Structure 1
Amino acid sequence: MLTVLALLLPVYLLVAIGWAVVRTRWVAGGEMGSLGRLVLRVFIPATLFYALARAPLHETLRLDYLAAYAAASVAIWGLTLALSLGLGNSRADAGLEAMGASVSNSAYFGLPVVTMVFGADTAFRVFALHLLVENLVTLPLAIGLMETAGGRVSFGRLAATTLRNPLLIASVAGLGYAATGLPLPETLARTFEMLNPVAAPVALLVIGAAVAELSPGALGWAAVRLVPLKLVVFPALVGAAMLAFSVDPVLARAGILNAAVPMMSSFALFGLNYGRPQLAATALILTTAVSFFTLTGLVAFLEI
């Protein structure tokens, strides 16, 4: 257990530092937000491209992994949606809850955690696969339902936003370069290597800052319900799917770990956009806090 804590404690210490500097107004939340955009648009795309471009394509583009993670993501989305509708919630509210349960914070939280546990090479390779599933399957499914439920059909805008995603662009570009079999120029490779250590720790600081900016509301059952669905049920479904598709054990455990991190930080923005800001903010805060215990238990259980 001490070994597990040694692995995960630095992750949460960085999150706590990000939270503290914003809460004490040592750093403005807007400044941390700008830093987060820099990480999301420059640091992570660059290191993602580098990790994919220098790896053999057959080692990275794992169709068994994609199928397993996509199946589990759609399953938890459908399960949460059905549960919420069964409790009498509207389609828009149920769709928001389903999004929260099915889309992990892969960039800011999953990537640093998987890097800490499995190393950068494995982390970036599975991260690219998570991005493909989230941006091409889960998010369009979730947003499409909420848009149609609210009478705001904007699939063209959704497609345009997806195609402009710098992480998705970096993934496709990296896989495309890997397909050529050409080595990266030495100068370019060294530049990417300088960026590599920066992305993960800064991303965790940004997560802490984002949580510090949120205002939780009354502890509603919807927010409480999302905690076990996101942190326990989703990883369990990913584990079952990985086993069913006979995915490599190391990659499978990395996928389970990514599924067990809190929902994406932009979930709070979706909550604001669809009229449930307190639900989204409270659920995000709760899952971030509780995930320290669930992730610690999961890493110990998986014997990583």
Structure 2
Amino acid sequence: MLMTLAALLPIILITALGYALERTNIISRDQWSGIERLAYFLLFPAILFQSIALADFGRLPTLSMGLSLLCAISVMMLLVLALRPFLQARFAINGPRFTSIFQGSVRWNGFLALAMADSLIGAEGVALLAIAMVVMIPVLNIASILVLSRYGDSGEAPTVAKVARDLYTNPFNIAIAAGIFFNVLAIPIPSIAQTTLTMLGAAALPVGIICVGASLDLNSLRRPGPALSSGTFIRLLISPLVGAGFAALFGVTGSAHIAILIACSVPSASNSFLLARLMGGDAKLMAEILTLQTLAAMVTIPVALALLG
């Protein structure tokens, strides 16, 4: 427990630094947007590509870990969808608000997950999280878009072509696909390119965590109601249990087991807010869920790793 806290404390401090930088207006909102785009379109794709291209997937438990995560996110999605009639009848939660609960419950923050894996496991942890991204990102992107299309208030359902375009233009997906291509064909990466990618990857994790802190809006939090509470704690309490259960079922142990717990324990993806705003979800509720999850995760993640890891 103490080792986990020691590994996570730098991440917490950097998150707090991002929050302080944004609140003191040292960096303007427009500048933060540029930093976020830099991390999203360049820095994180660089570390993903390098990790996947150079990973020895024959040595890693790729199949068992992938199956564990695929089953875990499938169960989580079905659980939240099954809860929708109850939430609507008991708490009058409408369609747009439900989409924010769905995204908050099933999606995950790759920035935080990669930083935690690097801190707790090292280079192998980054490679294991790359496996998680290969499995989870396309499935969760499609599911979120479909749920927002069905229950959101945009008035326009996305076409198959739009869903496909969102997937193949996603920089994470492009980096993952390119990394798999280089890995499978054993294409060598020149040493200069490797050094460049290493430098970009070294910048990705601290910049990404600073951006997470800058995105927090404590003033947006209101008295927690059913929508905010369920959207927060389904993700932070139930998801790690489901992930640990499938990891045990498929015999995943060691570092891969920790990587699964990290992927299932981190808060929801920060771009959930943008998707909610663009597709008729409840963007305000989504922002509140993301903020409360990030704060609560500082307690729940160490507990989950200590009890389940």
Check conservation: 2:7, 2:119, Cα contact below 8 A. Answer: yes
> Unaligned 5+ residue runs, structure 1?
none
Alignment match, 2:267:
262
Alignment match, 1:45:
45
Deviation at 1:198, TM superposition (A): 1.1
Moved more, 142-151 or 232-241: 142-151
Aligned length: 301
**Is 1:192 paired with 2:197?**
yes
How big is each residue's C-alpha offset from its partner over 1:97-146, in whole Å with a ceiling of 9 and x where there is no partner? 1221011111x2111111111113322x2332232333321221222122
Deviation at 1:94, TM superposition (A): 2.6
Deviation at 1:39, TM superposition (A): 1.1
**Is 1:86 paired with 2:93?**
no
Q: Provide the rounded CA distance (Å) in 1 between the counterparts of 2:19 and 2:270.
A: 14
**Cα RMSD, aligned residues only:** 2.0
Check conservation: 2:49, 2:179, Cα contact below 8 A. Answer: yes
- Matches of residues 1-304 of structure 1 in structure 2 within 5 Å? 1-59=1-59, 62-88=62-88, 89-106=93-110, 108-123=111-126, 125-150=127-152, 151-154=155-158, 155-212=160-217, 215-273=220-278, 274-302=280-308
Aligned AA for 1:85? P
Aligned AA for 2:135? V
Instruction: Specify the SS of the correspondent of 1:26.
Output: coil
Q: Provide the rounded CA distance (Å) in 2 between the counterparts of 1:158 and 1:139.
A: 9
> Unaligned 5+ residue runs, structure 2?
none
Check conservation: 1:33, 1:206, Cα contact below 8 A. Answer: no
Q: CA, structure 1 residues 117+216, in 2 after alignment: closer, same or farther (shift >3 Å)?
A: same
Aligned AA for 2:297? S
Aligned AA for 2:274? L
Q: Provide the rounded CA distance (Å) in 2 between the counterparts of 1:51 and 1:253.
A: 18
Q: TM-score, normalised by structure 2?
A: 0.90
Q: Provide the rounded CA distance (Å) in 1 between the counterparts of 2:51 and 2:40.
A: 16
Moved more, 271-280 or 239-248: 271-280
Check conservation: 1:226, 1:283, Cα contact below 8 A. Answer: yes
